[in-house]
Structure 1
Amino acid sequence: MRFIVAIFTVFLLFSCEKKTEIEISSVEITPVFIDSLSIRAIQPLDENRVWFGADKGKVGLIDGDTPKLAVIKYGDSLLHFRSIAVTKEAVFVLSIANPAVLYKIGFNGSEATNIEEVFNEKDENVFYDSMKFWNDDEGIAIGDPVENCMSIIVTCDGGNSWSKIPCENLPKVEKGEAAFATSNSNIAIFGDNAWVATGGRKSRVMHTADKGKTWEIFDTPIVHGKAMTGIYSIDFRDENNGIVFGGNWEDKPFNEGNKAITKNGGKTWKLIANGKEPGYRSSVRYIPGTEGQGIVAVGSPGISFSGDGGKNWKELSKKGFYAIEFVNDSIAFASGNNIISRLVFRK
């Protein structure tokens, strides 16, 4: 009898581990904002509201059918914003190229209240790519190397001030290794962890388990070696399980070595759907509430979906986007060339 009970218990454990495949048959795409902008940084607040940062100095909140827009000038220049993050009381936008300028925009829940510059870095090689917050006080932004390490700045006072982590406290990178500012998604955060994806000369993943105090770096099997190859996007659903996606921007149909998953916090990575569609994608996200089974990846070639954790994929639309961010298990916002759309995924 004891033996039978043991077998029954093991059977139950294995049964519980089996995950149900997620089904999505189509996606409904509704434009909510159209303008002559390159929009690569978005942050939804709910099903009807989404913040964005774009080129030409434009930052805005799309509130239902109402766009609330601002143009931020730095001297006589219009900056290009590709990084955005939102806390309870503020919105942050960070520009690419030289100078790198980070602005804090006060937000009372419906309107912007004030705009202030909270960080500025001048260097011919400066180029920031992505920004995230662990909580309302602590945040991180990453950029291409100025010296022999990635540029990483952090805040612990709600974004009022930012400090740059010295290179001696960061892993060294190779010449030609950097990051891609395509979708504000080459940082992933969970708990106290942050993962940073690189590309170009090398395709690797940097990891901190203590909000930036200490770092390690791991190799991945993602294609690399050329300027436009590597990891373009990373997402984690818990402290162990994550996905990276990218490819070769100059050969978008190429689908070998462009997507991989980890089950041990980024230490090792395994290619998925290798040599199968899709090819290049610039933004990948786990669908909330699907235990890692539902995944959507977008890029200029279209929208792709996997319902089995990345093993198999299907094309939902040829409509191209740069970035995607989910609100819940069926609604997301996506941004691209001249457009922000609301996406509704149908089973």
Structure 2
Amino acid sequence: MFSQKIESLETIFNDKISIRALEIYDNKVWYSGTDSKFGFVDVKDTKNQKQIKLSEKQLQFRTLAQDKNAFYTVNIESPAEFFRIDKKDFKVIGIYTDTLKTAFYDTFVFANEEMGLALSDPDKDQNMKLGMVLIPAQQIYDFNQTSTKDKNNFIKFNKGEAAFAASNTNIATYKTKFWVATGGKASRIIKGDFASLESHIYNTPFVQGESSQGIYSIDFYEDKFGIAVGGDYTKQEANINNIATTNDGGETWQIQASGKNAGYTTCVKIKPNSKGKEMISVGDKHISYSSDFGKTWKKISDEKNLYVCEWVDQNTVIFAGKDRILKMKIN
């Protein structure tokens, strides 16, 4: 039975900005966004806010990652500049620039204190570009080139297949494993291990075939159960084959709630300590909740223009999108 009720939903931040990446640290919501903006809002004392510009250029950030000492982000378009922002003094340094014309960064996450993963759209030969970002050495290796010496074995995206820079959530990690979700002409799962450098590609029954279709967001509980959401951003009401789950670590996917959900969805997050049973998701036109491992969904809000969500604790969720950040309390 669905029992979650919204206790409160308040706007804690307003600005002229589009936000598609969030991190929680020190009881604050940290964001990166358009116009080179980066900053935080205190979850409990929302008047406690700070914002800086990472560059004099009008860069657009859709990624944000953190280790224990710093935040990291990369702007989406070429030349793609990687920035490190110190958590103590907000000192900003550039650590790498990707000058490839095809560079377009969709996601940046940390798997552990030493290893970050940054995903770009494929290169001109359709090779996957997944950068393994080694901290503190500040070196970046291409997983594809590191994991195989034989160029015929590179992980190749199909023509028209890429990832979506929608909410910084099309990579999930657990220990040394990672999963990358794609969309467009094909919607697949690439499963890799950055310790063994092994990788596998699995097809999914997700809606796919058009450049606007596919998986937009994934989340995993440990290494077996995973949830994938998405759809078609040009047809927001379409809700066929846009939610799927896996129980075998991403090898096979089962469609859930087809025709019985609120439509196009950009971000999904499993509730802490729920072992995958409970999760919240957000799309441009809805906030939805599942309390049965993603099998059924209930729309709990009609809030519009939100793209990304993150749990602060078991009763508090942060949402962000166009020009604002919201805090939801759930009982």
TM norm structure 1 = 0.88
Task: Tell whether the 8 Å contact from 1:137 to 1:156 is kept in structure 2 after alignment.
Answer: yes
Match of 1:120 among 88, 97, 111: 97
**Rg: which structure is higher?**
1
The offset of 1:211, in angstroms, is: 4.6
Q: Give 3-state SS (helix, strand or coil) of 1:254's partner.
A: coil
1:252-277 residue CA offsets vs partner (Å, 9 max, x unmatched): 11111100000000000000011111
Please state whether the residue corresponding to 2:250 is helix, strand or coil. Answer: coil
Residues 205-244 of structure 1: per-residue CA shift (max 9 Å, x gap): 1111335822111101110110100000000011000010
Question: Which stretch shows the higher mean deviation, 21-30 or 80-89?
Answer: 21-30
Shift of 1:155: 2.0
Asked if structure 1 preserves the Cα contact closer than 8 Å seen for 2:128 and 2:144, the reply is no
2:206 matched to which residue of 1?
A: 222
Aligned-residue offset at 1:343: 1.7
Aligned length: 320
1:337 and 2:322 are equivalent in the alignment: yes
Q: Which runs of 5+ in 2 are unaligned?
A: 146-150
Counterpart mapping for 1:15-94 below 5 A = 23-26=3-6, 28-46=8-26, 48-63=27-42, 64=45, 65-73=47-55, 77-94=57-74
Task: State the partner residue of 1:13.
Answer: none
User: Whole-Å Cα distance in 1 between the matches of residues 52 and 262 of structure 2?
Assistant: 36
1-structure distance, mates of 2:301, 2:87: 35
Distance in 2 between residues matched to 1:323 and 1:316, nearest whole Å? 16
Kindly state the Cα deviation for residue 105 of structure 1 after the two structures are TM-superposed: 0.8
- The residue matched to 1:83 in structure 2 has which SS? coil
C-alpha separation between the residues in 1 aligned to 2:238 and 2:167?
20
Partner of 2:309, secondary structure, is strand
In structure 1, what residue type is equivalent to 2:221? Answer: R
Structure 1 residue 135: Cα displacement: 1.4
What is the distance in 1 between the residues matched to 2:280 and 2:164?
19
23-32 vs 181-190, which moves further: 23-32
- Among all aligned residue pairs of Structure 1 and Structure 2, give the percentage whose two residues are the same amino acid: 32
Q: 1:329 to 1:39 in 2, by over 3 A?
A: same
Q: 1:292 aligns with which of 268, 273, 276?
A: 276
TM-score normalised to structure 2 length:
0.93
- What root-mean-square deviation, in Å, do the aligned CA atoms of Structure 1 and Structure 2 show? 1.6
In structure 2, C-alpha distance between the alignment counterparts of 1:49 and 1:134, rounded to whole Å: 21
**Of residues 273, 277, 280 in structure 1, which corresponds to 2:264?**
280
Q: Select 1:105's aligned residue among 85, 88, 91.
A: 85
Query: For each residue in 1:69-98, what CA deviation from the matched residue of structure 2 results, as whole angstroms up to 9, or x when unmatched?
Result: 11122xx52211101011110000111011
- The SS at the match of 1:141 is strand
Are 2:6 and 2:328, in contact at CA under 8 Å, matched by a contact in 1?
Answer: no
